[in-house]
């Protein structure tokens, strides 16, 4: 069942559609369906209080230009918070469910995908598994490139830490622990680390606090904290992509180590932009971000 909690506001000011397919019930926001041009699917990150609000500036920028869609992934926002295993497979299936519905509505168009942070792993896997659905891939502050360690594990494997999962998931105190981790001051602290600055988007903070209050809100985030949602084969996935890929990131905060970018830096289908921001540049420098994004999409349209 889609979350009906009155304490959880919609993530985006847009019409919604409810899907119930392989990933179970999810909420997808959509706008500009009748507009021309390839549709865009925006996929938020995964964290303690994630939702499609994290891609709100991109959604609002595009909604009058071309069709744009964004789901609340399973376990987040207004999508189902059911007590079930949360895995990269489940969340990738949600991306594919949304993509197939978009393709049904736009049968002549392939989709431009955008993923934020850990959401980048999901969109990359979806693009690898169903390449006919997609035209291009934009990765904003993607995970899997930090430090010196790369991840070439068995297909579909995860980076789950068994002890962390045992300590966090399905324990008598799991709900109480999650409520401590999502207190307003704690949410602000982690957003400041994401921004690498004291000033953050106050709407994003308020929505994160609100969405963490839904019934069942702790199930997916505690899987995230035990590293279950991180893929152990993600570098194999990234390196297998053949469609055009644009990777961007900032230089402040917790997400600034992209030494692993070297594994794809020389590939002709990859391009890169660095912004003087934290991990969500479209909140801080929207004009610069959209100029770069639209230049990438224009090159894709031109077949460059």
Q: Residue 238 — φ and ψ, nearest 5°?
A: -55, -45
CB 136 within 8 A of CB 243: yes
| Secondary structure E strands in the chain | 16-21, 24-31, 40-43, 68-72, 111-116, 134-140, 245-249, 270-274
The H or E element that residue 208 is part of is helix 202-211
Per-residue pLDDT of the chain (304 residues; tens, 9 = 90+): 465 444 789 999 999 999 999 999 999 999 999 999 999 999 999 999 999 999 999 999 999 999 999 999 999 999 999 999 999 999 999 999 999 999 999 999 999 999 999 999 999 999 999 999 999 999 999 999 998 899 999 999 999 999 999 999 999 999 999 999 999 999 999 999 999 999 999 999 999 999 999 999 999 999 999 999 999 999 999 999 999 999 999 999 998 999 999 999 999 999 999 999 999 999 999 999 999 999 999 999 998 5
List the chain domain ranges.
Answer: 16-302
CATH number, domain 16-302: 3.40.50.1820
């Amino acid at each position: 069942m889609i979350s009906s909690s009155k304490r959880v506001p919609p993530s985006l000011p847009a019409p919604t559609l409810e899907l119930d397919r392989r990933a179970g019930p999810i909420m997808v926001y959509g706008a500009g369906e009748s507009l021309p041009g390839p549709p865009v699917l925006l996929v938020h990150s995964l964290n303690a209080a994630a939702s499609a609000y994290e891609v709100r500036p991109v959604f609002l920028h595009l909604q009058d230009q071309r069709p744009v869609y964004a789901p609340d992934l399973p376990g987040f926002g207004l999508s189902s918070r059911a007590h079930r295993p949360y895995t990269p497979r489940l969340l990738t299936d949600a991306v594919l469910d949304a993509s197939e519905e978009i393709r049904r509505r736009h049968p002549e168009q392939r989709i431009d995908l955008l993923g934020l942070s850990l959401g980048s792993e999901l969109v990359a896997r979806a693009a690898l598994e169903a390449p006919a659905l997609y035209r291009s891939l934009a990765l904003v502050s993607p995970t899997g490139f930090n430090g010196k360690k790369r991840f070439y594990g068995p297909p579909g494997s995860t980076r789950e830490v068994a002890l962390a999962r045992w300590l966090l998931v399905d324990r008598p105190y799991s709900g109480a622990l999650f409520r401590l981790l999502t207190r307003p001051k704690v949410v602000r602290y982690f957003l400041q680390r994401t921004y690498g600055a004291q000033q953050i988007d106050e709407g994003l903070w308020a929505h994160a606090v609100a969405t963490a209050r839904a019934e069942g809100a702790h199930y997916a985030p505690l899987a995230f904290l035990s590293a279950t949602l991180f893929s152990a084969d993600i570098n194999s996935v990234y390196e297998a992509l053949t469609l055009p890929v644009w990777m961007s990131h900032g230089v402040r905060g917790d997400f600034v180590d992209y030494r692993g970018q070297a594994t794809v830096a020389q590939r002709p289908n990859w391009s890169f932009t660095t912004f003087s921001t934290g991990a969500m540049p479209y909140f801080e420098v929207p004009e610069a971000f959209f100029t770069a994004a639209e230049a990438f999409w224009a090159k894709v349209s031109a077949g460059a």
